[in-house]
Amino acid sequence: MAYNLLKGKRGIITGALDENSIAWKVAEKAHEEGASFVLTNAPIAMRMGEIKKLAEKTGSEIIPADATSVEDLTNLFTKSQEVLGGKIDFVLHSIGMSVNVRKNVPYVESNYEYFQKGIDVSAMSLHKMLSVAWKLDAINEWGSVVALTYMAAQRVFPFYTDMADIKAMLESIARSFGYQYGLSKKVRINTVSQSPTKTTAGTGIKGFGDFYDYANAIAPLGNATAEDCANYCITLFSDLTRMVTMQNLFHDGGYSNTGVSMEVMQKLGITG
């Protein structure tokens, strides 16, 4: 059901790779809720062509941008305002990649070139995006920026290796920039800490399948889907959450506040 929550709003949505992507679902929902937006992804991801289907479905333009390039991001924010006819009201940062995770490098043996690449793509890119938007004064007052993160930033999940540290940095940038942007332009910035979700980035993590089931058995509501996450992001882009900023918001079916569940105890044979 649509509520016109984003009627007349203009946005930039990063990270829609295929229909499993969280960003893909956000774009579908934002379209349903009346927003107009630009889709963007790294030029290399664009070659897969899937994003064109989403652009057609949602009547959006695609502007390629490598999120590590200030030049590309400047072009993205400049052109998006031209295409959409005004300043931007919402931005989704849905970008994550760790070469150490991809190559199964153990945390204690992290390769530092890979580590730096991961920081640049997955955390510093948020700072670059916000800094470019700031310089161009590209975001409207009461605009909203959401970046997706994972709870390994607070608690240890060994398989998440360097991405845990990178997500901690991402969340810190959201807080630090959230202060500055709130004060000067009333722009809010939050991170959404999402359940494990079966996407390209998610399933690229070794042991993801088993962990997905474990998290599902711990969380009283079960794992939140990509679609649930999209719904939550829409509320954060809407005017109904204008005073929420600098927060890391858990969207995980209750996982983060559950020590253990009866289901897991029973599976371990600890209780009857």
Residue in 24, 12, 70, 87 with CA at minimum distance from that of residue 51: 24
Closest to ligand NAI by CB, 21 or 245: 21
> How many C-beta atoms surround the C-beta of residue 44 within 10 A?
9
User: Residue 234, annotated ligand binder?
Assistant: no
Task: Mark 208-247 with x for binding to ligand NAI (rule: CB under 6 A) and - for no binding.
Answer: ----------------------------------------
Q: Kindly state whether residue 96 participates in binding ligand NAI, applying the rule CB under 6 A.
A: yes
Q: In whole angstroms, how close is the CB of 272 to ligand NAI at the nearest point?
A: 33
Helical spans, DSSP H, in 120-258: 125-136, 161-185, 200-203, 208-218, 226-237
- Minimum separation from the CB atom of position 255 to ligand NAI (A): 11
Catalytic site includes residue 160: yes
Per-residue binding string, ligand NAI, 172-211, x by CB under 6 A, is ----------------------x-xx-xxxx---------
Among 6, 63, 91, 97, binds ligand NAI (CB under 6 A): 97
Distances (CA, A) of 210 to 134, 207, 213, 217: 42, 6, 5, 11
CA distance 38 to 88: 10
Task: Classify residue 148 by burial, with Cβ atoms within 10 Å: 0-12, 13-18, 19+.
Answer: buried
Nearer to ligand NAI, 143 or 196 (CB): 196
**Chain contacts with ligand NAI (rule: CB under 6 A):** 14-15, 17, 21-23, 41-42, 45, 66-68, 94-97, 121, 148-150, 194, 196-197, 199-202
